[in-house]
């Protein structure tokens, strides 16, 4: 008898931890691109709960775009994995059985294209991270490089996510397989709108605009749950709780939210019965969450990492850190947006800080810090742009950008290496290497990254001066002492 999680092992795990549906009972209705931890602890859980409450053939075929590590673990476990919810008061573990199939896009792109043309599939959801969409972060326009052009213009198997989608839609049109919703579940501003822009562009380039207009919708979403990268400890806890090994185990916070634009031409799971909010306009939620939660997460990550802190919770305990991010929320973020009705941005920010402080969650600063060139525009730069347009001086927002600039230098304040894990890493390094290592030199070099900094920011002398001032402070005193002076 194997001690690995899988269908055969389910009778042996505690009853309260078993999936809430019978895995494999529901037919497939959703294709999901991106098998990362976030999808598995968020949309998959909502979908399982929706099927448990109201039925429906909404099994998820999980597609790994490139890496096979998670895919292999899931395949060995019949698609099953556990999510352990960590709260200060204790933990609880449940196995999720919402996946009805698993595929590898890089290994077998034709199979994924064929699946997108299957009438049973009525929804495609995506968590491919900001960079997976191939959009210019500063302008939101598609970055048409050789790889993507090859996906559009040649017959070779698609290599990019947009290429895979447009080939899948073409196959669906030919098969007359009916309408479908494409749902971005990534932290992009107006993600539904961006998804539509991307697909419209590709559809025009491949002469299928009419079909796309009549058959494809792009519901926007706000997704929210803190799901740290798994470690050996995650797997050890799962073993303790389940009595079997789970190589794909996850940790997550108790909080989970999903706001979805209700625009599904071929039906959808009863997600509202699983706690999701279905709405006409998710954009106020998206903006609130991106700027207040993700923007503050990035702030704590860069500042904490520079001060040598490993985790977000630990960074938040640094003297002055919570004062600085509270001022960022109250003085820069709150005036930059209109929250959803009945929500107060400062109060929302307090709840976010409470979640970040969860002592049971080990969310690493360098995990949030990665892909800064993609994350900064929607999380922080849009706040700064809006505040500047209103004539204000966004002191705290520029502090975060300065911290990112210092982080890009690759070392903590006491000289230990920091990883620059970013699709623009080589451009960033080259720019820094060619510039004087002074606050002015660094600011000029990095403001010149035109896919990150829109012209109205790069050409704004007030912003430039604020950045130089913060970098000068960090150079003189280090982040720790700079923060300690914030009230
Ligand atoms: C985080 C997000 O890693 C990051 O960049 O800011 O993944 C964050 O945990 C989620 O968006 C929370 O919903």
Ligand 1, atom 1: nearest CA belongs to which residue? 368
b/e 195-223 (16+ beta carbons within 10 angstroms → b)? bbbbbebbbebbebeebbeebbbbbbbbb
More confident: 153 or 291:
291
Q: Is the CB of 206 under 6 A from ligand 1?
A: no
| Chain position carrying tokens 């960022």 | 328
Q: Is the CB of 413 under 6 A from ligand 1?
A: no
Q: How far is the CA of 206 from the centre of ligand 1 (A)?
A: 34
Nearest CA among 146, 143, 149, 98 for reference residue 125: 98
Provide ipTM, 2 decimals: 0.99
Q: Is the CB of 291 under 6 A from ligand 1?
A: no
Paired with 79 in beta bridges are none
Q: Give residues with Cβ within 8 angstroms of 399, minimum separation 6.
A: 299, 303, 324, 328, 470
**Domain 7-281 - what CATH class?**
alpha beta
Ranges for all domains in the chain classified under CATH 1.10.1040.10: 288-484
Ranges for all domains in the chain classified under CATH 3.40.50.720: 7-281
CATH topology for 288-484?
1.10.1040
Q: How far is the CA of 235 from the centre of ligand 1 (A)?
A: 21
Q: What is the mean pLDDT of the chain?
A: 96
- Counting residues of the chain whose pLDDT is more than 90, the rounded percentage is 93
| Separation CA 198–CA 214 (nearest Å) | 16
The packing angle between helices 382-389 and 461-484, to 10°, is 120
Q: Which atom of ligand 1 is nearest to the CA of 297?
A: 6
Q: How does pLDDT run across 36-91, given as a tens digit for each residue? A: 999 999 999 999 999 999 999 999 999 999 999 999 999 999 999 999 999 988 99
Q: Is the CB of 39 under 6 A from ligand 1?
A: no
Q: How far is the CA of 477 from the centre of ligand 1 (A)?
A: 29
Q: Is the CB of 368 under 6 A from ligand 1?
A: yes
Q: How does pLDDT run across 210-249, given as a tens digit for each residue? A: 999 999 999 999 999 999 999 999 999 999 999 999 999 9
Q: Which atom of ligand 1 is nearest to the CA of 42?
A: 13
| Separation CA 132–CA 423 (nearest Å) | 10
Q: Is the CB of 224 under 6 A from ligand 1?
A: yes
Q: What is the pLDDT of residue 290?
A: 97
Q: Is the CB of 294 under 6 A from ligand 1?
A: yes
| Separation CA 386–CA 157 (nearest Å) | 42
Q: How does pLDDT run across 283-296, given as a tens digit for each residue? A: 999 999 999 999 99
Nearest CA among 150, 243, 254, 133 for reference residue 196: 133
Q: What is the pLDDT of residue 143?
A: 87
3 state SS of 63? strand
pTM across the whole model: 0.96
| Separation CA 308–CA 404 (nearest Å) | 14
The predicted model gives 379-392 an average pLDDT of 98
Return the best residue to mutate from 226, 352, 363 for the ligand 1 pocket (most ligand atoms within 8 A of CB): 226
Q: Which atom of ligand 1 is nearest to the CA of 224?
A: 13
* pLDDT surpassing 70 at residue 279: yes
């Amino acid at each position: 008898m194997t001690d690995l999680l899988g269908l055969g092992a389910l009778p042996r795990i505690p009853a309260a931890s078993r999936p809430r549906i019978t895995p494999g009972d529901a037919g497939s209705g959703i294709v999901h691109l991106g098998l990362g931890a976030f999808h598995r602890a968020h949309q998959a859980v909502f979908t399982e709960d929706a099927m448990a409450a109201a039925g429906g053939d909404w099994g998820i075929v999980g597609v790994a775009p490139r890496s096979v590590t998670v895919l292999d673990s899931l395949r060995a476990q019949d698609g099953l994995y556990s999510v352990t919810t960590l709260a200060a008061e204790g933990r609880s573990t449940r196995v999720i059985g919402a996946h009805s199939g698993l595929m590898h896009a890089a290994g077998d792109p034709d199979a994924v294209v064929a699946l997108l043309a299957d009438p049973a599939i009525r929804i495609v959801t995506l968590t491919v991270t900001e960079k997976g969409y191939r959009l210019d972060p500063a302008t939101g326009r598609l970055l048409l490089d050789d790889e993507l052009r090859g996906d559009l213009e040649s017959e070779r198997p698609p290599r990019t996510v947009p290429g895979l989608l447009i080939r899948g839609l073409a196959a669906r049109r030919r098969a007359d397989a009916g309408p479908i919703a494409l749902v971005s579940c990534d932290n992009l501003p107006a993600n539904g709108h961006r998804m539509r822009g991307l697909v419209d562009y590709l559809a025009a380039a491949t002469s299928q605009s009419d079909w796309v207009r009549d058959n494809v919708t792009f519901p926007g979403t706000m997704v929210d749950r803190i799901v740290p990268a798994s470690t050996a400890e995650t797997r050890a806890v799962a073993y303790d709780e389940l009595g079997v090994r789970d190589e794909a185990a996850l940790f997550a916070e108790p909080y989970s939210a999903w706001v979805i634009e209700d625009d599904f031409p071929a039906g959808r799971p009863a997600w509202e019965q699983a706690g999701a909010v279905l709405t006409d306009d998710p954009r106020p939620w998206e903006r609130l969450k991106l700027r207040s939660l993700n923007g503050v997460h990035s702030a704590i990550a860069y500042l904490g990492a520079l001060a040598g802190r490993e985790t977000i919770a630990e960074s938040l305990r640094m003297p002055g850190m919570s004062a600085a991010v509270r001022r960022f929320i109250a003085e820069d973020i709150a005036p930059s947006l209109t929250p959803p009705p009945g929500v107060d941005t400062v109060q929302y920010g307090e709840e976010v800080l409470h979640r970040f402080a969860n002592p049971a969650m080990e969310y690493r600063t360098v995990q949030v810090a990665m892909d800064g060139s993609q994350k900064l525009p929607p999380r922080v730069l849009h706040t700064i742009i809006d505040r500047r347009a209103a004539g204000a001086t966004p002191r705290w927002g520029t502090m975060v950008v300065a911290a990112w600039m210092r982080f890009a230098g690759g070392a903590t304040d006491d000289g230990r290496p920091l990883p620059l894990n970013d699709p623009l890493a080589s451009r960033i390094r080259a720019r820094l290497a060619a510039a004087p290592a002074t606050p002015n030199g660094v600011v000029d070099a990095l403001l010149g990254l035109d896919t990150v900094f829109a012209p109205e920011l790069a050409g704004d002398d007030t912003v430039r001066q604020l950045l130089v001032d913060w970098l000068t402070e960090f150079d003189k005193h280090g982040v720790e002492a700079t923060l300690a002076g914030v009230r």
